[in-house]
């Protein structure tokens, strides 16, 4: 009989994977990146209040600025330390999305290899700009994955983000949301509350998400 990875032997709970795909380009310098860092800390703090969610929710962080970086590979929230992100460079959003989708597929395979059930993964893109690289292929992959229920892709626009490009990247059924100011804390508390609801349900079951008070859809 195959022996599973230690992390799954010690914690065989169903997993709820979420990738935070974060813009750390130069335009995020100053207050935007500071508020984003505070939001990440609030996310950990809030998920930890729920015993089930702290064992089930797995977070990975991919940033894109000067380069695309895996800042945090998948860990459960109890093992997660909120990073201190710094802003620099351009916006290789297309490459970052492709990287995140590959990372997610690899993680799903790891779950399957270890007999771990998982909820539909979330990918959360947060950006204040527009891609500076080729992004059309990434957008196509996002839409195909969403249509086949392989993931839920959320797009959050900050301040001067290019909404026209983001609408082309986001799945039609989940258009980009414009963040209210720099209220990252409310965004991440909403994400935490959503993860708690998902992780308390059954795998494959539809869950009603809390109202979005942190942003709005703009036409």
**How high is the pLDDT of residue 204?**
84
pLDDT average, residue stretch 97-111: 97
CA-to-CA distance for 216 and 219, rounded, in angstroms? 10
CA-to-CA distance for 122 and 47, rounded, in angstroms? 15
Select the more confidently predicted residue: 74 or 160: 74
Average pLDDT value for the chain: 94
CA-to-CA distance for 39 and 33, rounded, in angstroms? 10
Select the more confidently predicted residue: 5 or 13: 13
**How high is the pLDDT of residue 3?**
56
What three-state secondary structure class fits 83? coil
pLDDT-based confidence at residue 1 (cuts at 50, 70, 90): very low
pLDDT average, residue stretch 82-100: 96
Is the pLDDT at 2 greater than 80, yes or no? Answer: no
CA-to-CA distance for 215 and 201, rounded, in angstroms? 26
pLDDT average, residue stretch 106-124: 96
Task: Count the helices and strands in the chain (H runs, E runs).
Answer: 7, 7
Which tens digit of pLDDT belongs to each residue from 147-198? 999 999 999 999 889 999 999 999 999 999 999 999 999 999 999 999 999 9
User: Structure tokens of 174?
Assistant: 């989940």
> What letters, b where the CB count within 10 A reaches 16 and e where it falls short, cover 27-65?
bbeeebbbbbbebbebbbebbeebeebbbbbbbbbbbbb
**How high is the pLDDT of residue 21?**
98
The dihedral over CA atoms of 109, 54, 123, 130, expressed in degrees to the nearest 10, equals -140
Domains in the chain with CATH codes: 13-216 (3.40.50.410)
Is the pLDDT at 206 greater than 90, yes or no? Answer: no
pTM as predicted: 0.95
């Amino acid at each position: 009989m195959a022996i599973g990875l230690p992390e799954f032997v010690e914690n065989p709970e169903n997993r709820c994977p979420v990738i935070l795909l974060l813009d750390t380009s130069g335009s995020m310098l100053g207050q935007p990146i500071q508020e984003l860092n505070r939001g990440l800390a609030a996310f950990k703090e809030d998920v930890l209040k729920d015993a089930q969610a702290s064992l089930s929710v797995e977070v990975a962080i991919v940033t894109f600025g000067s380069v695309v970086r895996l800042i945090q590979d998948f860990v459960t929230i109890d093992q997660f330390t909120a990073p201190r992100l710094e802003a620099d460079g351009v916006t290789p959003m297309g490459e970052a999305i492709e990287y995140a989708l590959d990372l997610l597929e690899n993680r799903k395979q790891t779950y399957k290899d270890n007999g771990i059930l998982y909820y539909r993964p979330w990918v959360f893109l947060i950006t204040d700009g527009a891609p500076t690289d080729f992004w059309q292929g990434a957008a196509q992959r996002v839409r195909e994955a969403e249509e086949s229920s392989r993931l839920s892709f959320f797009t959050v626009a900050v301040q001067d983000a290019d909404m026209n490009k983001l609408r082309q990247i986001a799945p039609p059924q989940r258009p980009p949301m414009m963040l209210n100011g720099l209220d990252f804390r409310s965004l991440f508390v909403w994400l935490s509350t959503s993860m708690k609801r998902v992780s308390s349900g059954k795998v494959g079951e539809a869950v009603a998400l809390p109202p979005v008070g942190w942003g709005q859809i703009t036409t």
